[in-house]
């Protein structure tokens, strides 16, 4: 948020932990868009086995329970830069937190680039 063009309002977002903590109980709209780059370029003829990426927004880090938003994307072989988004609504109790998790099922190392975003908006109680 210190950089020009970035937006941050409200007490719920902790930039150190990467968590959004709900100030009050209610329904929240969450959204994340991640720009991801493959650190090692694919070699010609390298297979696509295990080339998917799963991104989740989870409540209380409980991604295996039904308190999450999730998308899975196949990483194409034609590019080393990918964009993946997750959007949806979750109910949080006051004091519960939500955060973004990336499950790299690809065969190469990946890095989340600057310009990626995460947002939470209270819809109603």
Q: Please state the three-class secondary structure of 23-82 as a single string.
A: CCCEEEEEEEEEEEEECCCCCCCCCCCCCEEEEEEEECCCCCCCCEEEEEEECCCCCCEE
pTM for the full model? 0.79
Average pLDDT, the chain: 81
Please determine, for residue 70, whether its predicted confidence score (pLDDT) is greater than 70.
yes
Q: Domain residues of the chain, as ranges?
A: 21-38+50-124
CATH of domain 21-38+50-124: 2.60.120.40
- Read off the DSSP letter of residue 3: S
Average pLDDT over residues 2-11: 59
More confident residue, 87 or 47: 87
């Amino acid at each position: 948020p210190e950089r020009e063009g970035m937006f941050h309002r409200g007490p719920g977002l902790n930039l150190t932990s990467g968590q959004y903590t709900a100030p009050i109980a209610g329904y929240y709209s969450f959204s994340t868009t991640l720009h991801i780059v493959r650190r090692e370029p694919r070699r010609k003829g390298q297979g696509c086995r295990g080339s998917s990426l799963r991104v989740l927004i989870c409540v209380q880090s409980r991604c295996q329970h039904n308190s999450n938003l999730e998308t899975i994307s196949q990483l194409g072989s034609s590019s080393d830069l990918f964009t993946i988004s997750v959007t949806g609504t979750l109910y949080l109790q006051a004091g519960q937190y939500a955060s973004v998790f990336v499950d790299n099922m690809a065969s190469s190392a990946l890095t989340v680039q600057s310009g990626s975003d995460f947002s939470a908006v209270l819809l109603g109680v």
